[in-house]
């Protein structure tokens, strides 16, 4: 994200809780979603490896070792450690992913089951084409226990992978940088790859981290003015309203993201206090509650699957709503850009998009309002296109739980 915290002109208690978005422009987005064995392994996994994996998770990584043996446990590419090693880390590297047309930015998100005492990290690397070297692995984020620097392997060593105890995680290089939780390229790239690392603080007990899904939304800027179109259907999803202002004053202005997340969790049948959701999503590394990747993984930790996506027009948004899918959207608005909002401007804010009124208006639950009567709002589609779609169109897509069907919108 580009800023570290919602800046609402309405109240001095509101600090930024989401990123400052880029200036309006035209975008194209491509979503790469890995959920099945075939997605993750791109046809390259042996039958023996597949037979070893638990059917409930396409990727199952080992964290832990047998004390005194120094022996690797079964898993996908586990890294060997000395017998007295404190950590054993498994890792998974994706196949190389080609993005036709290239990309300027990448939003990554994941759903993973991470047992207590374990941790996982997620990294990306990129390159312009197949003829140039890869960038270094860049650290996007983590979940669970911190992944210590000692488990970052130097895979370019002629003698094979080895632990590098001196190198901290890379977040910036010549190819670009990780802006809190997503990649921003210094130039246009066409190829990317991701890596998941896992660790265990109690290595005498082997544990398994299950990677259920990974989503990569690759975006590029294109010439021309944005062409979002107009929503032409009336439909609404019954997402319950919550206000961030009812929480502790010291954090109320910073928790638009987990408050919006809690609304959609409740819509999906998972009622949790907003404060609990905020604590689960909190990014201690950057001291923010609006880390996009952590909010998506937090939803999964409550049993609700999802991913990050980006939208360029109202047609794509309508398709989600018609499937019973509300969206948590990330906006930035200058003074006067969003008529009817409970704030004059914001450098970064999240709210829930719940439908259309059929008259050129977009239905939202805006957590900046103190109660539902002021927070269930209708924003002009033209305004919201400017402060959301043209600034990247980032959204949390939180799906129905496996045992539940998608809710049907009213019309």
- Write the DSSP string, 152-185: -EETT-TT--EE-SSPPPB-EETTEEEETTEEEE
Partners of 398 in beta bridges: 306
What pLDDT was estimated at residue 64?
53
CA distances from 358 to 170, 322, 337 (A): 47, 13, 21
b or e along 130-166 (b: 16 or more beta carbons within 10 Å of the residue's beta carbon)?
eeeeebbbbbbbbbbbebeebbbbeeeeeeeeebeee
pTM, two decimals, is 0.84
Q: What single-letter DSSP state applies at residue 68?
A: T
Cα gap 252→150, rounded to integer Å: 37
Q: Is 400 helix (H, G, I), strand (E, B) or coil?
A: coil
Spatial contact of 268 and 28, defined as CB atoms under 8 Å apart: no
The confidence score (pLDDT) of residue 47 equals 45
Distance, in Å, from the CA atom of 291 to the CA atom of 58, rounded to the nearest integer, reads: 26
Radius of gyration of the chain (CA): 21
Question: pLDDT digits over 32-41, tens only?
Answer: 999 988 888 8
Query: 70: burial class by Cβ within 10 Å (0-12, 13-18, 19+)?
Result: middle
Residue that has been written with the tokens 């791109």 in this structure? 42
Contact in structure between 128 and 189 (CB atoms under 8 Å):
yes
Please identify every stretch of the chain with a pLDDT value under 50, giving residue numbers as ranges: 1-15, 43, 45-52, 54-56, 65-87, 152-163, 165
The confidence score (pLDDT) of residue 25 equals 78
Give the residues across from 270 on adjacent strands: none
Quote the tokens at residue 221.
């800027």
CB distance 363 to 314 below 8 Å: no
Q: What is the DSSP pairing of strand 138-144 with strand 234-236?
A: unpaired
Report which DSSP code applies to 293.
H
pLDDT of residue 90: 74
Q: Which residue has the tokens 């954090």?
A: 251
Number of C-beta neighbours around residue 232 at 10 A: 13
- The pLDDT assigned to 86 comes to 45
Structure tokens at 257: 């993201």
The answer to whether the Cα torsion of 174, 177, 183, 184 is positive or negative is: negative
> If 0-12 CB within 10 Å is exposed, 13-18 middle and 19+ buried, where does residue 44 land?
exposed
């Amino acid at each position: 994200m580009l800023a570290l915290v919602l800046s609402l002109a309405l109240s001095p208690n509101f600090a930024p809780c989401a990123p400052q978005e880029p200036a309006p422009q035209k975008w194209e987005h491509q979503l790469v979603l890995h959920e099945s064995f075939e997605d993750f392994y791109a046809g390259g996994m042996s039958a023996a490896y597949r037979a070893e994996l638990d059917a409930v998770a396409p990727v199952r990584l080992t964290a832990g070792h047998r004390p005194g043996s120094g022996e690797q446990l079964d898993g996908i590419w586990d890294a060997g450690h000395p017998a007295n090693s404190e950590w054993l880390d498994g890792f998974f590297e994706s196949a190389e992913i080609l993005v036709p047309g290239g990309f300027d930015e990448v939003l990554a998100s994941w759903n993973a089951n991470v047992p207590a005492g374990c941790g996982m990290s997620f990294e990306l690397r990129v390159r312009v084409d197949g003829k140039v070297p890869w960038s270094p692995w860049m650290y996007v984020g983590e979940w669970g226990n911190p992944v210590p620097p000692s488990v970052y392997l130097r895979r370019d060593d002629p003698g094979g992978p080895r632990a590098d105890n001196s190198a901290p995680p890379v977040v910036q290089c010549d190819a670009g940088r990780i802006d809190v939780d997503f990649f921003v390229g210094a130039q246009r790239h066409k190829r990317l790859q991701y890596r998941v690392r896992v660790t265990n603080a109690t290595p005498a007990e082997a544990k398994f981290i299950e990677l259920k899904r990974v989503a990569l939304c690759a975006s590029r800027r294109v010439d021309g003015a944005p062409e979002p179109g107009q929503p032409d259907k009336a439909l609404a999803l019954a997402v319950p309203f919550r206000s961030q202002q009812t929480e502790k004053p010291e954090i109320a202005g910073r928790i638009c993201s987990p408050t919006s997340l809690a609304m959609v969790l409740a819509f999906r049948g998972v009622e949790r206090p907003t404060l609990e959701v905020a604590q689960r999503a909190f990014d201690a590394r950057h001291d923010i509650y609006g880390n996009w990747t952590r909010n998506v993984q937090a939803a999964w930790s409550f049993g609700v699957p999802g991913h990050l996506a980006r939208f360029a027009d109202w047609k794509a948004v309508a398709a989600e709503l018609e499937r019973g899918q509300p969206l948590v959207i990330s906006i930035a608005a200058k003074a006067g850009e969003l008529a009817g909002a409970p704030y004059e401007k914001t450098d970064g804010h999240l709210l829930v998009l719940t439908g259309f009124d059929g008259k050129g208006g977009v239905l939202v639950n805006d957590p900046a309002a103190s109660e539902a009567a002021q927070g269930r709002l209708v924003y002009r589609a033209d305004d919201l296109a400017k402060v959301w779609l043209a600034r990247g169109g980032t959204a949390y897509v939180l799906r129905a739980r496996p045992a539940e069907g998608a809710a049907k919108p009213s019309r």
